[in-house]
Structure 1
Amino acid sequence: MSSSADTGDDRSDPGLSAIMSERRHLINLGYRLTGSLADAEDVVQETYARWYAMSAREQRAIESPGAWLVTVAGRICLNLLGSARARRETYVGDWIPEPLPEPTEWITGHSGAGGNDPADRITLDESVTMAFLVVLDAMTPAERVAFVLHDVFRYPFGEVSEIVGRTPAACRQLASSARRRIRTARTPAGPSTEQAAIVRQFRTAWEAKDIDALIGLLDPAATATADGGGLAVTHLHPIVGGEQIAHAYAEIARVAGDRTTFLECTVNGLPGLVAQQNGTIATVFAFEIAGERIRRIWAVRNPEKLRPWGVDRGVPSA
């Protein structure tokens, strides 16, 4: 398998630097395919383990090491997505993709100039917004892999077929089906500055426990989903309806009291909020905003999904 995403010609000597230069690309691919930074890290680790399990002669015989790594990582992700469906059956509450912070706001202070954290290597664009990842998660594993590889990373269907294990024509149909899902679920979003202003108004109304103001900012058919994974207290089922969400969130603010500080930040490339308690990020909130109203809220409280938001990162000021 060859690809325009390969970096350089490593045919004569697939050395360490050439192989490791693919790591960022693989992390980006793995996160979009699995919706989990932890799983993406595992996928990349397993991919490199398989590379170094080969003899030097076997490695030199590979025409394009970068393409080989992508093929292996893609197949691992495909298998992981299949097993994830079984794991979700025992997951407590709703499963939400793992949220990512803005590297310039959070990670530089934690990892140093070198940027050792895998989250620092995730490129934040439309393909990692929470709304986009949630739609990807509703796809079949084959649809997701075919769509992400072709539409996001621009691999031709002939190469995608080697990973998915289906014909190029079948992969084209899978990507087309996934594309229709994306179009159906996608809502027109305003500029980031306008979204940030709405999130700021929501934060102000929430802190004031102003139910009427909250209702005015929420779409009447809005949905709020939370992910505690059985490791943090939260509502187990989505809250449906702007008025219902306003009352529920006002109660959350009342219970939290002065122990909780709400801060504006960037979540998966878009304006969001975090709730900080005693110096610890307890919840990350992502929003989908359409027509100057909040349509979806995703609240991630599972501490295993908040590793990139550790307390030693330095919290941005509001």
Structure 2
Amino acid sequence: MTAGSTDRVAVFDRERPRLLAVAFRILGSDADAQDVVQDAWTRYVRADADEIRNVQAWLTTVVTRLCLDLLRRSREEPRRPEDLPPAPGGDDPEDVALLAGELTAAFTVVVEALTPPQRVALILHDVFGAPFDEIAHILGTTEGSAKKLASRARGRVRGTPRPDVESGEARRVVGAFMQAARQGDVDGLVEVLHPDVLRTADPQVLRPGAPQRVQGIEAVVEETRAMRASARRARLAVIDGRPGIAVGPGPLAALVFTIADGLIVHYDVIADPRRLALLHIED
């Protein structure tokens, strides 16, 4: 292996978690995200290094366009219902980011409902904080059009009914989850998790190869018990105005929850630095 190829491996390994996070949020599938990032690696190896001025931007563009191609092919050849992530039980001109906490509550709705360009614009801007000029370049459109795509997607997401939980009840459920996670208390976890609970997470907080999407109470309980050490560094927090959990100093990760009828139906572990930077976290 030459020095140049060694450098490329190091650069790509550094960027891989973020690329996987972007691909997964756009596609909603671990397997598809892995395939897209692997394809991006192949293209990166074959590219002329002298023509790549900004590696991070170049890789993000390649991954996002590969996601768009895959989404468009899926539209032409729709997936069977069982292949789609399960969904939890008009136009908005307001140019304000949803931020990760609000979008998480409608994550699977976004996967199924938005057009490919809308999904890209919304997720790159509202979830990862990408500027609209960068998004416009990726989509091959104008900055104004990219803003309109995100606005329309945002309005569609906000128009989707979501569980309306009284904050005191949500704090109780989140607190009970954290306490049970710290103690490895299976019964305590079962009491607060929906049988079909969905856990999504950024790769930065997962062991290599671990899925970004885990569903079902047994799988989530098993994973949570295995992460007792991390749970001991957790604390209750208010994340974008909603009860949540912050882990470690910094924090290193934040958990945002969707709760219905006193049970956690979905929670997202946010560890990507760009996503964390968009959150407003108060102890």
TM score, norm. by length of structure 1: 0.49
Specify the alignment match of 1:17 in structure 2. Answer: 10
**Pairing of 1:239-254 with structure 2 (within 5 A):** none
Specify the alignment match of 1:274 in structure 2. Answer: 217
1:78-110: CA deviations, max 9, x gaps? 111111223335x154721699xxxxxxxxxxx
1:55-83: CA deviations, max 9, x gaps? xxx21331101110000001000111111
Partner of 1:268: helix, strand, or coil? strand
1:168 paired residue among 126, 134, 143: 143
**Pairing of 1:304-315 with structure 2 (within 5 A):** none
Q: Using a 3 Å threshold, how does the CA distance of structure 1 residues 202 and 49 change in structure 2: closer, same or farther?
A: closer
Q: Using a 3 Å threshold, how does the CA distance of structure 1 residues 178 and 195 change in structure 2: closer, same or farther?
A: farther
Specify the alignment match of 2:25 in structure 1. Answer: 32
Give the Cα–Cα distance (whole angstroms) in 2 for the partners of residues 45 and 28 of structure 1.
13
Q: Using a 3 Å threshold, how does the CA distance of structure 1 residues 33 and 152 change in structure 2: closer, same or farther?
A: same
Corresponding position: 1:67 with 2:67: no
Give the structure with the higher percent helix: 2
Specify the alignment match of 1:81 in structure 2. Answer: 71
Partner of 1:267: helix, strand, or coil? strand
Deviation at 1:128, TM superposition (A): 7.5
1:184 paired residue among 137, 159, 178: 159
CA contact (8 A) 1:14 1:59 kept: no
TM score, norm. by length of structure 2: 0.55
Q: Using a 3 Å threshold, how does the CA distance of structure 1 residues 93 and 136 change in structure 2: closer, same or farther?
A: closer
Q: Using a 3 Å threshold, how does the CA distance of structure 1 residues 146 and 194 change in structure 2: closer, same or farther?
A: same
- How many pairs are equivalent? 191
Give the Cα–Cα distance (whole angstroms) in 2 for the partners of residues 171 and 148 of structure 1.
12
2:41 paired residue among 48, 59, 68: 48
CA contact (8 A) 1:264 1:271 kept: no
Give the Cα–Cα distance (whole angstroms) in 1 for the partners of residues 27 and 104 of structure 2.
13
Partner of 1:63: helix, strand, or coil? coil
CA contact (8 A) 2:173 2:262 kept: no
Partner of 2:130: helix, strand, or coil? coil
Specify the alignment match of 1:304 in structure 2. Answer: none
CA contact (8 A) 2:198 2:265 kept: no
Partner of 1:289: helix, strand, or coil? strand
Q: Using a 3 Å threshold, how does the CA distance of structure 1 residues 162 and 18 change in structure 2: closer, same or farther?
A: same
Specify the alignment match of 2:259 in structure 1. Answer: 289
Unaligned runs of 5+ in 1: 1-12, 100-124, 207-261, 280-286, 299-318
Give the Cα–Cα distance (whole angstroms) in 1 for the partners of residues 24 and 112 of structure 2.
12
Give the Cα–Cα distance (whole angstroms) in 1 for the partners of residues 192 and 142 of structure 2.
53
**Pairing of 1:211-230 with structure 2 (within 5 A):** none
Superposed CA RMSD: 4.2
Specify the alignment match of 2:205 in structure 1. Answer: none
Q: Using a 3 Å threshold, how does the CA distance of structure 1 residues 275 and 79 change in structure 2: closer, same or farther?
A: same
State percent identity of aligned pairs: 32
Q: Using a 3 Å threshold, how does the CA distance of structure 1 residues 149 and 271 change in structure 2: closer, same or farther?
A: closer
CA contact (8 A) 1:34 1:40 kept: yes
Q: Using a 3 Å threshold, how does the CA distance of structure 1 residues 130 and 180 change in structure 2: closer, same or farther?
A: closer
CA contact (8 A) 2:106 2:157 kept: no
Give the Cα–Cα distance (whole angstroms) in 2 for the partners of residues 44 and 24 of structure 1.
10
Deviation at 1:274, TM superposition (A): 1.9
1:12-42: CA deviations, max 9, x gaps? x964312321101100000000001111111
Q: Using a 3 Å threshold, how does the CA distance of structure 1 residues 157 and 128 change in structure 2: closer, same or farther?
A: closer
Give the Cα–Cα distance (whole angstroms) in 1 for the partners of residues 8 and 199 of structure 2.
36
CA contact (8 A) 1:195 1:271 kept: no
Give the Cα–Cα distance (whole angstroms) in 2 for the partners of residues 205 and 76 of structure 1.
38
